[in-house]
Structure 1
Amino acid sequence: MAAQPKPVRSALMDALQELSQDDLKRFIKELLARKVEGQPRVPRNKVDGKDYMDVADVVVSTFTEKNAVNVAVEILKRINGEVADTLVEETGGQTSQSASTDDMHFVDKHRGALIQRVSNIDSILDDLLERKVINQETYTKIRVIATPQDQMRKLYEGPLKAAEACKEIFYQILQKHEEFLIEDLKGKK
Structure 2
Amino acid sequence: AGCTLSSKFLELLEILEMLGERELQRFKDKLSEIQPKEGYQQLPSGSLSNADPPALTDLLLLFYGTDYGAEVAAEALRAIDQGAPAKRIERLIAALRAGGHFVDLHREQLIQRFSEVDAVLKLLRGHTLTPEQYQSISTGRSNVEKMQKLYELVPSWGRERKDQFHRVLCITNRALVDELEGR
Band the TM-score falls in, shorter-chain normalisation: 0.3 to 0.5
| TM-score (norm. length: structure 2) | 0.44
| TM-score (norm. length: structure 1) | 0.43
RCO higher in 1 or 2 (8 Å CA, sep ≥ 6)? 2
